[in-house]
Amino acid sequence: MESEMGGQSENPDENDPLVRAARRGAERDRRGAAESEPSVIRRLGQIGVLGWVIVTPTLLGVFIGRWLDRLTHSQLFWTAPLLLIGFALGVWSAWKWVEKA
């Protein structure tokens, strides 16, 4: 009888987007249950690394800015923008690190 229906698949639910989304959700749940949750120590370590990923470029920008300000005898001409650039670079790096993890 199915051959009379123009060659449709055996299971009409295969083309239903709601059924496909439910299957994907069930598969995600199954994989999540199979993978173990990281320990508290590991999470604290990740938070520490994340902090240093932001702080290091920010401090580097401040130190380079202060050095350039001393060389050029300016007050905050180099420090302020390099501080902001270092902070932006640190946040971007942290975002990429979290996205990858």
d(CA 8, CA 93): 50
pLDDT, greater one: 101 or 75: 75
pLDDT of res. 51:
92
Report pLDDT digits (tens) over 15-41.
Answer: 788 888 888 888 888 887 777 777 788
Report pLDDT digits (tens) over 39-52.
Answer: 788 888 888 999 99
d(CA 59, CA 56): 5
Contact between residue 86 and residue 61 where contact means Cβ atoms under 8 Å apart? yes
C-alpha distances in angstroms, 69 versus 11, 29, 57, 58, 66? Answer: 72, 55, 18, 16, 5
Report pLDDT digits (tens) over 59-78.
Answer: 999 999 999 999 999 989 99
Query: Which residue is listed with tokens 């180099």?
Result: 78
Question: Mean pLDDT in the chain?
Answer: 85
- Rounded to whole angstroms, the maximal C-alpha distance in the chain is 89
Of 46, 60, 47, nearest to 88 by C-alpha is: 60
